[in-house]
Amino acid sequence: MALDTIIELKNLSIFQRNILVLSEVNLSISKGEFVYLIGKTGTGKSSLLKTLYADLPVTEGEAEVAGCNLLAIKRREVPYLRRKLGIVFQDFQLLSDRSVNDNLMFVLKATGWDDKNSMQERIKDVLDKVGLGTKGFKMPHQLSGGEQQRVSIARALLNDPELILADEPTGNLDPETSEGIMQLLFDISRTGRAVLMATHNYALMERFPSRTVKCEAGKVLAAENNADRPVSI
């Protein structure tokens, strides 16, 4: 895998409960690249993302993510891989019984941080990055949907990941708020992190054009706006 490549998939087959979802997947994504993942519901977008963060095992083909060989990865090594990734979901997945600061503190403790001052500095840093520097004391229900998604992006940034995987991150947001989230994700990709974002929002894709790949008929293909790219991507 080249030094600047963060995802390298070759002839990969993806299974969900022994059912073949995607086959012959060839995909390469470099650091700092922003890539959309599109396709109808049920075509394998979420399965592909789950494979990348080792929630679904790799049994056929080659898959390397952030320097980890997913074919050979052991269960005890999965947390190490996930510390290199930031994962953003459509439904925020914040802990409702604790403040924004405590949501982020929980993740830091779970991923091995133990110095309180360093943890507080890191939390302040990521909240500032997503424009929520003054909201750390608030509970999730006191925030708008867009603010909650910004917290989930801050959470994804805590361990300075090399790759952000975003699964419909604007799916529950209004158009104006969605634009703010997209701008934030594009800004993150410009810092050298790769972003792979599954979406159905074609209006946003027109507003923020970038390389696009598509799950269709059991394959991952270059989308039409990449007509100059080979299908083996």
**Domain boundaries, given as residue ranges, for the chain:** 1-84+164-170+195-233, 87-160
Tens digit of each residue's pLDDT (9 = 90 or more) over 182-205: 999 999 999 999 999 999 999 999
Say whether pLDDT at 227 is over 60: no
Tens digit of each residue's pLDDT (9 = 90 or more) over 66-82: 999 999 999 999 988 99
- pTM given for the model: 0.91
Calpha distance 175→202 (Å, rounded): 12
| Amino acid 178: pLDDT | 93
Mean pLDDT of 16-32: 94
Reported in sequence order, the residue ranges of the chain that DSSP labels E, i.e. its strands, are 5-16, 19-30, 34-38, 60-65, 68-69, 85-88, 163-167, 194-198, 211-216, 219-222
* CATH C-level class of 1-84+164-170+195-233: alpha beta
Please give the single-letter amino acid code of residue 11. Answer: N
DSSP 43-60: SSHHHHHHHHTTSS---E
